[in-house]
Amino acid sequence: MALTASIIARPPRASPLAGLALLAGLVVALPLAGVVLAALGDASADIAQRDLLRYAATSGLVALLVGVLTALVGTAAAWLVVMHRFPGRDAFAWLLALPLAAPAFALAYAYADLLDVGGGLRTALRAATGHDLPFEMRSIGGAVFVLTAAFYPYVFLAMRAAFINQSVAALEAATMLGCPRRQLLWRVALPMARPALAAGVALAVMETLADYGAVHFLSVQTLTTGVVRAWSVFGSTASAARFALPLLAAAALLLWLERMSRRGRTHDNGKGRWRAIAPSELGPVRRWLAFAACAMLLVLALGLPLGWLAWQLPLAVPDWARLTLALRNSAGMGLAGAMVTVALAMMLALGTRQWPLAGRLASLGYATPGAVMAIGLLAPAGLIWSLVPGAGAGIALLLLVLAYAARLMAAALEPIDAGLARVTPSMRHAARTLGRGELGAAMAVDLPVARGAMLTATLILFVDILKELPATMILRPFNFDTLAVLASNYALDERLNQAGLPALLIVAMAMPAVIWLTRRIDGARPGALNAAA
Amino acid sequence: MTAVPALICRNVSRRYGGRQAVDDASFVMPPGRVTCLLGPSGSGKSTLLRLIAGLEPVDGGDIAIAGRVMSAPRQTIAPDQRGVGLVFQDHALFPHLSVRANIGFGLTGLARAARAARVDTLMTRFHIAHLGAAWPHMLSGGEQQRVAIARALAREPALLLLDEPFSGLDGRLRADVRAALLADLAALGASVLIVTHDPEEAMAIADHIVLMADGRILQAGTAEHCFRSPASVAAARLLGAVSVLPCTVRGGVAQTPLGPLDAAALPDGPADLVLRDHMLVTASDGVAAQVEHVQFCGQGHVVAARIAGERVTVQCDTAPPTPGDTIMVALHRPVTGIFPRGA
C-alpha cells in the first residue's frame, strides 16, 4: 500500500534522553571502575595486609560509634523539637541543622587546640584542681565526638521531617488505644519513622567513612586516611585503590541496608486528612531542661569550636594574598562543580525512566568517599597526560569537577527527582501530542517545573564542595589551593591560628545556603531528607 | 464520494509481556462526529487510545488517521507529527504555565499575534476567556477540562481523543458539563473519540459507539443499533443490565422458558435468550415466576424473580407482590436477541 511508504521509519529505542542519561551515568561509573582496575594493578608500596585490617577495623569502629551516637542525638533532638513546646523551640528547629555549614575538620582543629594537653585550658585546670581531664582529643574517642557533632544534623533533619509528616491520626489513635504520651516515641513514632532513621544514619556513616580532614588531624588511621597516605606518601595508586576497595564494599553494603529498611514502607500520610502535630506543653522545669539540652548541643557542635577558632584569629597575621586566591578558587570550584553536577543529575533524572540502573549507580557514588573517587580518576588522568603532555591545570580542574559530580550526583538527584515528580506522565504525553519531540517536551515542561528543585540541588552541592578536602587534595593542579586545602595545610603545619581563618571563611560562605535550605524544608515531605544534606 | 474516515483501525494488536492488551481490533470512525469507545476498566480501551495517539507502537495491524497510515509494526509516526489531540483523564495541565500559555503551548509555528488571536478564539469558544491569567491549580475540575480541550484543539487536530473526560465530575454537574461541552464540540465539527466505561454516558453523547472488552472490539455502530441489536451476550451486557435465560434452538425455533420464539437464523443447539431489564412485566397470564426481592423505583416496583431457576428482573406497575409470591410475567417488547451458546 502506498500510504505505508510515507511512514518515517523510527527505531523504537533511540531516545535522546536515554543517551544523555547514559553519559551522566558514565561520569559516575568511570571513577568507580577506575578504582577497581587500579586495585588490580601492581602495588609497588608494600602495605601489609595487617595494616589494611587495622585501618579497616578502626574505620568500622568509628563508623559504628558515630552511627549509634548520631542516631541517638539526632532522633532525641528532632523528637524534642517537633513534639514539645519550650523556649526557643521554633528557632532550634532550624538552628540545630546549622552545624552542616561547618566542615568536620574545622571542629577537629578547634577541639584539638582547645583541649590540647599542653594548651591553656588544661594547664589552668590542672593548676586549679590538681587533676587532668580524663581524655585526649587525638584518639578514636575524640574523633567520634567530633564527627558526631558534625554529622548528627543528617539524622536530625531526616527525623524532623519524618515526625512532622507523620499523620497525627496515628498518634491520636495510639493515645485512644491507651498508649501513654511518653511511650508514643517508642511504640508508634519511631517505628513509623524507621526508613528516615535508616536514611539519616546511613548518610552520617557514609560521611564518617569518607572523612579525611578530621580523623587525619586527630591521628586516627582509617581506610580513607590510608587511601590518601598510600597515594601521597608512597605515590602508589594501586595501593591506594586497595584501601579504597573495602570502602567501596562498605558503601554498597550501607546502600543495600538503607534500601532494605525502606522496602515496602512508603508511608502515605493521606494528604486530605493531614493535620499538624500539636506539640505538648512541658512543665516549668522540663521546658528549661529541653532548652538547655538543645542549647548545649548547638554550643558543642557549633558555638564552642567556631568561637574558639574566632577567638584565636588575632594571634595570626593572615596571608591575605593566599587567602583571597583560595577564596576565589573555592567559590569557583563550588559553583562550577555544583552547576555541572546539577546538569548531569538532571540528565540522569530525565533519562532514568529508560535506564533505572543509573540511579543506583549514582547512589553508590554518593556513598563512596571523595578520596576513592579521586584515586579512581587518577588512571584516566594519567592516560590523558600521557596522550596530551601539555594538558595542564585545565584538565586537572575538569577531572576535579568530574570527581565532585561522581561523588555528589545522588545528593542532587534527590531534590531533582522530587521536583520532577510534579510532572506526571500525562503532562509529558500532552507535550508530545502538542507537537514537542522527546527532548523538546523535557525542555518545555520538565525543566521549568523542576527549576526550584535545581536551585536547591545547586546550593546543597555548593556547600558540600566547599567542605570537600581529600578529592581536592589529590586531583588539584600544583599550587591550586581551596580554602579547605589551605586550612588543612596550615593545620598539619601546626599553625592552627592560621588554619582558623580559612575554616571560618568556609562556614561563612556555606552558612547562608544552609540557613536557606533548612528553613525551606518545613513544608517538605520525608523524601526531602537530603534537602539540607 | 464519501468522506475520508477520521480514523481506521485495522487488526490492531498490542501485547504487554504475555498479555494481549489490544487484540485484533478493527473499527472505522466517521469524520465530524462524536464516537464513544465503551468498555469496562481493563478492557484495553485506554491502551487503544494511546496507540492511536502514537504514545505506544502497535505490534500488529495499522492505524490510519484522516487517510494517512500513522502506525504499523515497527513504524510509528511520533505523537508530535500525527495531528492528534489528546485530553487526559487528569487534564495534565502544565503547572508552571498560565491558562493562556497552556492553550498556546502547541502553537509553536505561529507568529505572536496570530497565536494570541487563536488562543483568544479558543478561550471564548470554551467560555474561559476570563481565566487567561489564572494558574491551573486555581481552576475547578470543569474549568481545567475546558482548558485541556482548548489546548488540544489549538493545533486543529484531525482527531480529538478524550480519555474518560467526565469521570472526575459527579451527578448533576456531570450531565450539565457534558451537554455544554458536546454542544461546543459539535459546533466545531470536530472528529472526536471519547473513551468511557459508562454505558448511559456513551449513549447520551455518541453518534457512534464502539464496544470493547478483553482487548477485542465486540461491536460498532449507532447507539440505538448497538442497544437494540447486540452482536453477542457480552456486547448486550456492556450497554446495560440484562437477564439471560438458557434455551434450546430446534428447527429455527427457540424453546424458551417464556415460550417458543422465532430463531430462524440460528443453528440447532443450546442458546441464550437475552432480555433487557424492564422488558418483562407482570401480567394476568404468562409464565410463572417466584418473587425474591421487591424494590420501589419511582415509576413502580422492580421485582427480582426466578423463572425456571434463572434470575430475571420484572417491571411491576401495579400493586407490588411480596417475596415468596408466585406471579405471572409476560414479554411486552421484542427480545434483545438469541445467541448460540459459546458464541
Residues in B touching A12 (Cβ below 8 Å)? 57, 74, 76
Residues in B touching A434 (Cβ below 8 Å)? 80, 85, 105-106, 151-152, 154-155
Stretch A154-169: mean pLDDT: 82
Q: Which three three-digit cell numbers place residue B97?
A: 504555565
Nearest to A302 by CA among A313, A292, A312, A310: A310
What is residue A275's predicted lDDT score, i.e. its pLDDT? Answer: 57
Cross-chain Cβ contact B80/A427 below 8 Å = no
- Is it the case that residue A358 has pLDDT exceeding 90? no
Stretch A483-505: mean pLDDT: 87
SS3 state of residue A244: helix
- Rounded to whole angstroms, the Cα distance separating A343 from A23 reads 11
Residues in A touching B96 (Cβ below 8 Å)? 445, 448-449, 451
Cross-chain Cβ contact B80/A6 below 8 Å = no
Q: Which pLDDT tens digit goes with each residue over B304-327?
A: 888 888 888 888 888 888 888 888
What is residue A479's predicted lDDT score, i.e. its pLDDT? Answer: 82
Question: Which residue does chain A place closest to B92, by CA atoms?
Answer: A427
Q: Which three three-digit cell numbers place residue B179?
A: 451537554
What is residue B196's predicted lDDT score, i.e. its pLDDT? Answer: 92
DSSP line for A456-502: HHHHHHHHHHHH--HHHHHHSPTT---HHHHHHHHHHTT-HHHHHHH
Residues belonging to chain A with any Cβ–Cβ distance to chain B shorter than 8 Å: 1, 3-4, 6-10, 12, 422, 424, 426-427, 429-437, 440, 444-445, 448-449, 451
Q: Give A431 to chain B, closest Cα distance, Å.
A: 8
Q: Which pLDDT tens digit goes with each residue over A433-464?
A: 888 888 888 889 988 988 888 888 899 899 99
Question: Which residue does chain B place closest to A434, by CA atoms?
Answer: B106
The interface residues of chain B toward chain A in range 79-138, judged by CB-CB distance below 8 A, are 79-82, 84-86, 88-90, 92-96, 105-106, 108
Q: Which pLDDT tens digit goes with each residue over B199-248?
A: 888 988 888 999 999 999 999 999 889 988 899 989 998 988 888 888 88
Q: Which pLDDT tens digit goes with each residue over A318-345?
A: 888 888 999 999 999 999 999 999 999 8
Nearest to A312 by CA among A304, A320, A324, A323: A304
- Rounded to whole angstroms, the Cα distance separating B73 from A339 reads 42
Question: Which residues are B338's β-sheet partners?
Answer: B273
B53 in reach of chain A (CB within 8 A): yes
Stretch B273-291: mean pLDDT: 84
Stretch A430-434: mean pLDDT: 89
User: Residue A9's pLDDT band (boundaries 50, 70, 90)?
Assistant: very low
Are the CB atoms for B98 and B115 separated by under 8 Å?
no
- Is it the case that residue A44 has pLDDT exceeding 80? no
For chains A and B, CB pairs below 8 A equal 93
Residue at grid coordinates 446495560: B240
Are the CB atoms for B255 and B320 separated by under 8 Å?
no
Q: Which of A427, A434, A454 to mutate to test the interface with B (most CBs of B within 10 A)?
A: A434
ipTM summary value: 0.76
Residues in B touching A8 (Cβ below 8 Å)? 75, 77-78, 81
What is residue A265's predicted lDDT score, i.e. its pLDDT? Answer: 52
Nearest to A10 among B76, B88, B93 (CB): B76
Residue at grid coordinates 550526583: A409
Counts for chain B of helices (H) and strands (E), in that order: 8, 20
Are the CB atoms for A341 and A408 separated by under 8 Å?
yes
Look up the pTM and report it. Answer: 0.78
Within chain B, all domains assigned CATH 3.40.50.300 are found at 7-237
- Is it the case that residue A76 has pLDDT exceeding 70? yes
Kindly report which listed range (A379-388, B172-181, B239-248) carries the lowest average pLDDT score: A379-388
Cα angle for residues A294, A299, A303 (degrees, 5° grid):
140
Amino acid sitting at position A195: P
Which has more confidence, B288 or A269? B288
Query: Backbone phi, then psi, for A237, in 5-degree steps?
Result: -65, -40
User: Residue B161's pLDDT band (boundaries 50, 70, 90)?
Assistant: very high
- Is it the case that residue A11 has pLDDT exceeding 70? no
Nearest to A424 among B55, B74, B92 (CB): B92
Stretch A398-412: mean pLDDT: 86
Residues in B touching A427 (Cβ below 8 Å)? 92-94
Stretch B269-289: mean pLDDT: 85
CATH architecture of B7-237: 3-Layer(aba) Sandwich (3.40)
Are the CB atoms for B54 and B15 separated by under 8 Å?
no
Cross-chain Cβ contact A8/B77 below 8 Å = yes
Nearest to B95 among A8, A435, A449 (CB): A449
User: Residue A255's pLDDT band (boundaries 50, 70, 90)?
Assistant: confident
- Is it the case that residue A505 has pLDDT exceeding 70? yes
User: Residue A526's pLDDT band (boundaries 50, 70, 90)?
Assistant: very low
Nearest to B105 among A9, A10, A434 (CB): A434
- Rounded to whole angstroms, the Cα distance separating A39 from A404 reads 21
Q: Which three three-digit cell numbers place residue A214?
A: 578530621
- Is it the case that residue B290 has pLDDT exceeding 50? yes
Q: Give A477 to chain B, closest Cα distance, Å.
A: 43
Read off the DSSP letter of residue A139: S
Cross-chain Cβ contact A4/B86 below 8 Å = no
Distance between alpha carbon B78 and the CA centroid of its chain, in Å?
A: 27
What is residue A47's predicted lDDT score, i.e. its pLDDT? Answer: 63
* Those residues with Cβ within 8 angstroms of residue A394's Cβ, 6 or more apart along the chain or in another chain: none
SS3 state of residue A312: helix
Per-residue b/e over B204-224, b at no fewer than 16 CB within 10 Å? ebbebbbbbbebbbbbbbebe
User: Residue A127's pLDDT band (boundaries 50, 70, 90)?
Assistant: confident
Q: Which three three-digit cell numbers place residue A143?
A: 574523633
